[in-house]
Amino acid sequence: MKGDRGSRKRRALLVVDVQPTFCEGGALAVAGGNDVAQRVADFATANRDRYAAIITTQDWHVDPGGHFSESPDFVDTWPPHGVAGTDEAELHPALDDVDIDASVKKGAYEAAYSGFEGVDDEGRTLAEVLDMYDVGCLDIVGIAESHCVKETALDARKCGMPVRVFTDLTVPVSAEQGEAARELLAARGVKLETSEQALLAH
C-alpha cells in the first residue's frame, strides 16, 4: 500500500455488505437492514458529487470452509450466507440506481470480514482500487456495524487514512455488540458521527 495515502484529500464512500442476505428475510438477517439499505441509497444519491468514488463490498462465499456451520456459534461460525451467485449475495435492490464506481467481493474461500480482504472483477484489492481513484479519506456505511463495517474501518485506519463511520447509515448485529464496536473504533481514531453532522461540518 502506498504510504502517502493518508495525505490525500479525495474522499470515497465505502458501502459495506449492503446485501439482502444481511437484511430482513435473508439468511443472516440483521434487524433494520432493509431500512439502512434505503437510507444508504438515498444518501449516496443525494451526495454523489461529494465523493471521488462510491465503492461497494459484498460477502461472496463459494466455499469458505469452517466459516459456515450447520451448528453455528455466531462468533466464529455462521449459517450459510452471501453464497456466490445467489440473489441474496447481490447488492441490495435499494442500491440499483446508485452510481457505483467499483465493487469488491470478499470471502470466496475463507472468512473475510474486512473489505480490504476483497478484490474486484479484475483482481484488484480494495487498497488498489482506492489508489486508482487517488482516495485518501473514507466514509464508511453498511452492514453490520459490529462486524464487517468495524473490521473494514479498522483496516482503513491501519492504512493511515482518516475514517468516518456514519452511525445512522449502519446497524449492528446487537445493541451490545454495536456499543463494543463503537468503543473500539473510537479508540483507534475512527470518527463516529451521523451523516447529517458530517455534512454540516463541511
Of 148, 150, 155, 159, which residue is the catalytic one? Answer: 148
- 106 an active-site residue? yes
Cβ-proximal residues to 152 (8 Å cutoff; 6+ apart), any chain: 14, 16, 57, 113, 114, 115, 116, 140
Buried b (16+ CB within 10 A) or exposed e, 10-46: ebbbbbbbbbbbbbeebbbbbebbbebbebbbebbee
Cell 438515498 found at: 42
Catalytic residue of the set 17, 59, 139, 155: 17
Minimal CA–CA distance to 151: which of 140, 167, 136?
A: 140
How remote is the C-alpha of 158 from its chain's centroid? 16
> Which of 59, 105, 106, 150 is the catalytic position?
106
Q: How far apart are CA 75 and CA 93, in angstroms?
A: 28
17 is a catalytic site residue: yes
* Residue entry with cell 446485501: 19
By annotation, the residues acting in catalysis are 17, 106, 148
